[in-house]
Amino acid sequence: MDDSRETLGPQAFVTGFPIKHSRSPLIHGYWLKTLGLPGSYRAHEVAPADFSVFVDSLKSGESGFVGGNVTIPHKEMAFKLADDPDEISEELGASNTLWMEDGRLKATNTDGRGFTANLDERHSGWDRAQSAVVLGAGGASRAIVQALRDRGVREIHLVNRTVERAQELADRFGPKVYAHSMAALPEVMRGAGLFVNTTSLGMAGEEAPRIDFSPLLPDAVVTDIVYVPLKTLFLTQAVRQGFPVVDGLGMLLHQAVPGFEKWFGRRPVVDEKLRALIIEDMDKH
């Protein structure tokens, strides 16, 4: 991309601490280039102690940014410091996407939409599931529970090592969400149409428990939000047991779509070339 195109158009960022491993610049850079739009998107590291000053510079226009993405550990502060967080972020208490509009800093959280858009793209009809099992009750789990509830899944069984954390989310997201300990896993899987792993289990270098997926409905879908490696131990076990699977890379790609549209004015498409570009980058590191 030539320099003039980068400096002339809207400037967007991804901030976190640390941020250098983020793949978001690759994703947005690909869309800017393929759509032929002026603008830039770059990683901008901000330490926790400096985050509120950074947000002030965004609001005043001094930073030169029109908006950007926010990742760990700034998502909760981004929500708190935004002028107008939307309902989605309000319920989650965290925002990952910021943009200036009419002189005010707006905020949303696109993780849940990324999750459902990925399933829609790779396994349409998944939402016929009346009952879903979500393993894990950390930060990533919240957005998924919210998105499943909002999509109309009737029963969401949240299973976590620390059952109190699952209960906290069940209280937050209402009567469709049930909290369970790990021991309840086989029982709550019975008749479920969707199984989601949101824990770090099965990430590169981590063990994953042996899971018997057979209590699920025969056409149930198994998905994992972990995408390093792409085929996690949950997914390989599910494939061996004859279940369709969806990997987590698409969630990363799809969660980026609404932000790009806000900052650069065009709705980008998640295509196979983009997926291949990120996989190639993952193979390098």
- Choose between 103 and 205: whose C-beta lies nearer to ligand ATR: 205
**Dihedral sign computed on CA atoms, order 130, 93, 101, 97:** negative
> Using CB under 6 A, which of 162, 181, 214, 241 touches ligand ATR?
162
- Classify 104 as helix, strand or coil: strand
β-sheet bridge partners, residue 70: 15
Number of helices followed by number of strands (H, E) in the chain: 13, 12
Total residues in contact with ligand ATR, by rule CB under 6 A: 14
Contact 196, 133 (CB under 8 A): yes
- Choose between 117 and 201: whose C-beta lies nearer to ligand ATR: 201
Contact 107, 92 (CB under 8 A): no
- Only one of the segments 29-37, 63-71, 159-167, 173-181 lies at the binding site for ligand ATR (rule: CB under 6 A); that segment is 159-167
Question: Rule CB under 6 A: which of 59-98 touch ligand ATR?
Answer: none
Question: Rule CB under 6 A: which of 128-157 touch ligand ATR?
Answer: 136-141
Angle (CA) 229-255-243 rounded to 5° is 50
Is residue 75 among the annotated active site residues? yes
- Choose between 7 and 181: whose C-beta lies nearer to ligand ATR: 181
Q: Does 251 bind ligand ATR (CB under 6 A)?
A: no
Q: Does 160 bind ligand ATR (CB under 6 A)?
A: yes
Contact 94, 52 (CB under 8 A): no
- Contact residues for ligand ATR (CB under 6 A)? 136-141, 160-162, 165, 198-201
The residues that are catalytic are: 75
